Structure 1
Amino acid sequence: MARKYRMGVTRKAANVVVQACLERGIAISGSTGFLLTTRGRKSGVDRTTPVNVIEFGGDRWLVSPYGRVGWVHNLRAETTARLWRGDVRETWEVEEADAATAGPVLRAYVRKLPVTAPFFDAKLTDPAEAFTAEADRHPVFRLARSRA
């Protein structure tokens, strides 16, 4: 059974360190780490969180390995994602993937970032179909159109 994500003291501390590195342009997990800023769906206040962007099938993807977290709800309400790391700033329109599209992306994500594997029922060696079955619990967004 997959672990449920909890934002504990250790995760909060790790996010502070990762965010500080990304703000300075230092990617912790290779070149996949970015800061994602979304507008709060209720408050209207900008919210920033560390995320990983992966490339798969010729597209770039945002994956929520921990489920329907705050940034997922915010992107569903307003489909603009502002990604940045150091001086690199990008603004994207996003499209949420359906389960059939999300399955192979989720599989690629977990293989690239195996630290997230405990949050999935599917195993690293499972076929994409096993990840498709979990797509409703792990939202996936395609970075669709860049906005200058």
Structure 2
Amino acid sequence: MAKAYRHTFLRQAGNVLAMTFVRAGLKVGPIHLLTVRGRKSGQPRTTPIAVVEQNGERYLVATFGIVDWVRNLRAAKEATLTLGRRCETISVVELEPEEAAPILKGCIGAGGPITQGYFEATVESSLQDFERETLRHPVFQVMTESSTC
């Protein structure tokens, strides 16, 4: 059984550190800042997120499951991605399980120990196993709207 995401003090501290580095323009792997309007409050919410690149396309993968940024992005359908001083307004399309499975399978090992345990499927699992995983780990395709915010 895959473990559930828990927002611990260490995870919060890691998010603050990642956000500080990314805002300063330092490259922290594929991490960008995702800012999306809160579905209840309407206020902008920012979280560090890995932008996965495969086959010339960019994706946002809900590695930790259906957490707040996923719910907010599903409601808003648009957000901003920031890396240092570069900011872009994006829209997203949530992929169907058949489309999302290969993307999820391609990135499952990339998160290392941080993401281990959140998936029931392994690198050796079939695409059908990953289609089931996409119900708990949705994948969004990023569409660029404009390069300035």
Which bracket does the TM-score occupy, shorter chain normalised? over 0.9
SS at match of 1:75: helix
Structure 2 distance, partners of 1:142, 1:102, is: 9
List gaps (5 residues or longer) in structure 1: none
How big is the shift at 1:133? 1.3
After TM superposition, the score normalised by the length of structure 1 is: 0.93
Q: Separation in 1 of the partners of 2:86 and 2:66?
A: 27
Partner in structure 1 of residue 56 of structure 2: 58
User: RMSD of aligned C-alpha atoms?
Assistant: 1.3
Contact 2:31 2:49 survives alignment (8 Å)? yes
- 3-state SS of paired residue (2:116): helix
Question: Is the 1:93–1:147 Cα contact (8 Å) retained in structure 2?
Answer: no
Task: Report the Cα offset of residue 107 of structure 1.
Answer: 1.1
**1:3-58 CA-partner distances (Å, limit 9, x unpaired):** 11100111011111111111111122x2x110000001110100000000011132
**2:88 and 2:144 in contact (8 A); partners too:** no
Are 2:119 and 1:120 equivalent residues in the alignment?
yes
Count of residues paired in the alignment: 146
Corresponding residue for 1:106?
104
SS in 1 for 2:53: strand
More off after superposition, 5-14 vs 107-116: 107-116
Structure 2: give runs of 5+ residues left out of the alignment: none
Is the aligned partner of 1:141 residue 2:140?
A: yes
> Partners in 1 of 2:128 and 2:25 — Cα distance?
36
Percent identity reads: 39
Q: Report how far residue 117 of structure 1 moved.
A: 2.8
Aligned residues of 1:90 and 1:146 also touching (Cα < 8 A)? yes
Counterpart-to-counterpart distance in 2, 1:24 and 1:52: 17
1:23 aligns with 2:13: no
Runs of 4+ more than 4 Å apart: none
Partner amino acid, structure 1, of 2:140? F
TM-score, normalized by length of structure 2? 0.92
- Equivalents in 1 of 2:145, 2:41: separation in Å? 25
Partner of 2:129: 130
**How far off is 1:84 after superposition?**
0.3
